[in-house]
């Protein structure tokens, strides 16, 4: 498959669009007609051909535009990318992981030549060619984590492991669902999840942490998370909430299908070899309601999930105010028919 990269924006005039192929491969997050939190982790060892699970780091038609949007966000707020001093080795681990896997999975887009510690990286979509010395940060234009995450779709956190906990000690966070790296950096697993309602009482985080502390090299895991976003905006950060917040109130019954997006995060977790840290890419996919309903199963199911979601979760995910309009819109695509198990289109 030859990829064509879209020329599109995630702010201002919002020219972001999904091609019909991109809609078909959208990672619809609901495998049944209702939703509640769970530790829904599975091995990240490939998946259905053409799906976002097929390759280790999915590259799609939005790659170039997403990297351009990240550059704009970083220019306005460099604190979106931070790494505590002890995390540089983990940054190199992550750079190695991304470069080697992308070069293997997408040989027509990325090439990596290695001669001992002298590396030569070619990124064709972004027109980057870089020769550098592995583990020598002075040979890159910026730190290793920043360097590679400016070329990798999704937000990325690097979690240090010590004292029986995970610590968010580095990250590149420019397309977040309303959390602040600058505030959360240095926090442990329970601390950075503190604002999430219900899940603590359910023991979700205790179980997830126990699992992750034992994550093994070469056996990455994945899960899907989701929320709702008005307009195809990647930078829904708390930092800029006072700038994008008013857009949330522009939904009308007439434009909801076009302006309301289901935002899905494909989260993967990777044990890193030298630092024993965990890399945590959070890849964001956006799909408008009117594109979702082109898959009849998804239209029916999304209607039922959002209609029946506890109010607390709708509030936490930030769409309680628009939920009635969303549910009304989706209702016309729900004929009451049964839906098949699993997330894929019929």
Contact range with another protein by CB under 8 A, out of 53-61, 104-112, 139-147, 187-195? 187-195
Structural Rg of the chain based on CA atoms: 20
> Closest CB to another protein among 191 and 258?
191
Residue of 223, 249, 304, 307 with catalytic role: 223
Q: Does 195 bind another protein (CB under 8 A)?
A: yes
Is 223 annotated as catalytic? yes
Rounded CA gap, 191 and 189, in Å?
6
Q: Does 155 bind another protein (CB under 8 A)?
A: no
Rounded CA gap, 285 and 52, in Å?
10
User: Using the rule CB under 8 A, which residue among 15, 207, 210, 241 binds another protein?
Assistant: 241
Q: Does 78 bind another protein (CB under 8 A)?
A: no
CB distance 319 to 226 below 8 Å: no
81 sits in which H/E element: strand 81-83
Contact range with another protein by CB under 8 A, out of 36-44, 56-64, 154-162, 237-245? 237-245
**What minimum distance in Å lies between the beta carbon of 315 and another protein?**
13
User: Using the rule CB under 8 A, which residue among 218, 246, 336, 341 binds another protein?
Assistant: 246
Q: Does 202 bind another protein (CB under 8 A)?
A: no
Q: Does 160 bind another protein (CB under 8 A)?
A: no
User: What b/e string do you get for 170-195 counting C-beta neighbours within 10 Å, with b at 16 or more?
Assistant: bbbbbbbbebbbeebbebbbeebbee
Contact range with another protein by CB under 8 A, out of 141-149, 179-187, 252-260, 285-293? 179-187
Question: Would you give the distance in Å from CA 124 to the centre of its chain?
Answer: 23
Across the chain, which distance is largest between two alpha carbons, in Å?
A: 61
Rounded CA gap, 10 and 16, in Å?
6
Residues acting as catalytic residues = 223
- Residue ranges binding another protein (CB under 8 A): 79, 180, 182-187, 190-195, 200, 238-242, 245-246, 248-249, 321
């Amino acid at each position: 498959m030859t990829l064509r990269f879209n020329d599109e924006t995630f702010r201002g005039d919002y020219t972001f669009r999904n091609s019909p192929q991109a809609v078909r491969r959208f990672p619809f997050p609901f495998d049944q007609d209702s939703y509640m939190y769970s530790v829904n982790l599975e091995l990240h060892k490939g998946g259905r051909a053409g799906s976002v699970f097929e390759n280790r780091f999915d590259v799609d038609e939005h790659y170039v535009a997403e990297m351009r949007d990240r550059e704009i966000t970083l220019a306005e707020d460099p604190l979106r990318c931070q790494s505590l001093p002890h995390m540089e080795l983990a940054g190199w681990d992550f750079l190695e992981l991304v470069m080697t896997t992308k070069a293997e999975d997408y040989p027509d887009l990325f090439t990596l030549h290695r001669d001992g510690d002298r590396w030569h990286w070619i990124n064709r979509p972004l027109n980057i060619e870089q020769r550098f010395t592995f583990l020598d940060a002075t040979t890159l234009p910026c730190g290793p984590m920043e360097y590679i995450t400016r070329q990798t779709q999704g937000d990325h956190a690097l979690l240090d492991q010590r004292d029986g906990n995970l610590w968010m000690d580095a990250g590149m966070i420019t397309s977040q669902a309303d959390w602040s790296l600058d505030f959360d950096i240095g926090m442990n697993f329970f601390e950075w999840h503190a604002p999430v309602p219900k899940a603590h009482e359910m023991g979700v985080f205790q179980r997830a942490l126990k699992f992750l502390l034992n994550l093994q090299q070469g056996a990455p895991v994945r899960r899907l998370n989701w929320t709702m976003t008005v307009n195809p905006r990647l930078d829904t950060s708390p930092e800029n909430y006072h700038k994008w917040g008013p857009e949330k109130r522009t939904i009308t019954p007439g434009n909801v299908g076009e302006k309301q997006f289901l935002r899905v995060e494909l989260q993967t977790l990777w044990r890193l070899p030298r630092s024993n840290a965990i890399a945590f890419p959070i890849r964001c996919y956006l799909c408008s309601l009117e594109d979702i309903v082109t898959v009849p199963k998804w239209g029916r199911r999304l209607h039922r999930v959002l209609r029946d979601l506890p109010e607390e979760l709708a509030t936490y995910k930030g769409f309680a105010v628009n939920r009635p309009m969303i549910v009304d819109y989706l209702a016309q695509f729900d004929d009451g028919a049964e839906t098949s198990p699993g997330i894929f289109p019929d």
